Amino acid sequence: MHELSLIQSLLDIIEDYAQKRHFKKVNTVKLSFGKLSSIEPKCLEFAFEAQSKETKAQGATLEFDILPIVIYCISCEKEMKVDAYTATCPQCKGEDVIMVGGAQELKIIELDVD
Amino acid sequence: MKVSVVKNVLDANDRIAMENRALFDKNKIYVINLMSSPGAGKTTLVERTIEALKDKYAIAVIEGDIQDTCDADRVAKLGIPVVQINTGGACHIDGNMVREALPAFNLEKLDLLLVENVGNLVCPAEFKIGENTKAMILSTPEGADKPAKYPRMFQESTVMIINKADLLPYVDFDMERARRDARATNRGINIFEVSCKTSSGLSDWFRWLEDQIESFKKLNP
């Protein structure tokens, strides 16, 4: 359900930029978020389609840059991308790991507009 | 034409949260955003915390629920000012809901504001409200896999209270795993093992909270 709040905030930002930059139509909205940020692209798309009606963003395509889950292993002294979050290092199997990427919040990166 | 933006989508909420924070600082109010799954024991922890600290601090509570006022009624029985926010379907409290609730309190007189969020391990982690501390409760019947399943909640929280410790003999809860996985998302997380029913472990939580409030008061003389 948080997708509705996120999309409303996104549309407010787009409207704000439309006033400042004088564009009439949005073609593409580029977004980024971490894989573990509990954001579901399909839900975002659905909320966007429903809420963007009769705004400058109606009909625009959402593009997602989904940032990977990255853990840092203190024993191996390096960062590793992992498919699913786990508190175990895939290399040394040690448990002294820190999650350093993957939970980044939803950001709007770029708009393609006319 | 490309327009570069690079902005948090929740930027507007973050700004309202900062305004709330400024208001809390001005009135020297320490604010806790309390989050958990439904049924983990948020309201009971709020009640215990009020009972323990109400002689020392002026406390107020904001209760967030999708509907109903039963939590607010429980708190009101303790003689504490309470505002119920009914989110009407929204799965979290945001900065604006808290801002709208504040006029109901005499802010100048308050020391501690406990905000009980909507029961949910996902969305509340994303919405700042102007709190000093995000505290989350994980209860033992939920299972130790929650930090691995909902890492954002644990990464955002300064405090993890493991509640219903009295049920440990009856539930399969791997304490080591819960602690390890929570620490891996957040090295600095403060973990308290408690039972709100038997009161075990609660004194450590009260002491920690008092220390935080006192340090906060020193920083905002």
State residue A100 phi and psi, 5-degree precision: -115, -10
Most confident listed range (A36-45, A90-99, B156-165):
B156-165
Return the number of other C-beta atoms located less than 10 Å from residue A24's C-beta: 8
| Mean of per-residue pLDDT scores for chain A | 93
Give the residue from chain B lying closest to A38, CA to CA.
Answer: B122
Classify residue B15: in a domain, yes or no. yes
Q: How many domains does one find in chain B? A: 1
Distance from CA of A108 to the nearest CA of B (A): 5
Is the CB of residue A99 less than 8 Å from the CB of residue A71?
A: yes
Q: Report CB contact under 8 Å: B152, A97.
A: no
Q: How many residues are there in chain A? A: 114
pLDDT at A48: 95
Strands (E), B41-189: 59-65, 82-86, 112-116, 133-139, 159-163
DSSP secondary structure, B80-122, as one string: --EEEEE-TT-SS--HHHHHHHGGGS-GGG-SEEEEE--S-SS
- Identity of the residue in B5, B123, B185 whose CB atom sits nearest the CB atom of A17: B5
Which residue range forms the structural domain that includes residue A89? 2-113
What's the predicted TM-score (pTM) here? 0.90
- Identity of the residue in B2, B8, B151 whose CB atom sits nearest the CB atom of A110: B2
Give the residue from chain B lying closest to A14, CA to CA.
Answer: B5
Which of B2, B3, B6 is the best mutation test for A, with the most CBs of A within 10 A?
B3
pLDDT at A88: 87
Look-up of token digits 């969020």: B117
Closest alpha carbon to A17 in B110, B162, B9: B9
A54 at the B interface (CB within 8 A)?
no
B88 at the A interface (CB within 8 A)?
no
B146 at the A interface (CB within 8 A)?
no
What are B88's two structure tokens? Answer: 């009407």
A104 at the B interface (CB within 8 A)?
no
- Identity of the residue in A9, A37, A38 whose CB atom sits nearest the CB atom of B13: A9
- Rg over CA atoms, chain A: 18
Q: Is the pLDDT of residue A1 over 80?
A: no
In whole angstroms, what is the distance from residue B4 CA to residue B38 CA?
40
Q: Report CB contact under 8 Å: A108, B5.
A: yes
What ipTM goes with this model? 0.82
Q: How many domains does one find in chain A? A: 1
Which residue range forms the structural domain that includes residue B99? 11-219
Look-up of token digits 């006319």: A114
Classify residue B104: in a domain, yes or no. yes
**Which CATH number belongs to the domain containing residue A27 in this structure?**
3.30.2320.80
Classify residue B192: in a domain, yes or no. yes
Query: Quick check: helix, strand or coil at residue B160?
Result: strand
Classify residue B2: in a domain, yes or no. no
Percent of chain A at pLDDT exceeding 90 = 83
**Which CATH number belongs to the domain containing residue B19 in this structure?**
3.40.50.300
- Identity of the residue in A105, A110, A111 whose CB atom sits nearest the CB atom of B8: A105
Percent of chain A at pLDDT exceeding 70 = 99
Q: How confident is the model over A1-22, as a mean pLDDT?
A: 91
pLDDT at B78: 95
Classify residue B146: in a domain, yes or no. yes
**Residues contacting A112, CB < 8 A, separation 6+:** A26, A27, A28, A29, A30, B1, B2, B3
Classify residue B4: in a domain, yes or no. no
Classify residue B5: in a domain, yes or no. no
Question: Which residues in chain B come in under a pLDDT of 70?
Answer: none
Contacts of B5 in chain A (CB under 8 A): 13, 17, 108-111
| Cα dihedral B163/B49/B27/B61 (nearest 10) | 80
B157 at the A interface (CB within 8 A)?
no
Classify residue B6: in a domain, yes or no. no
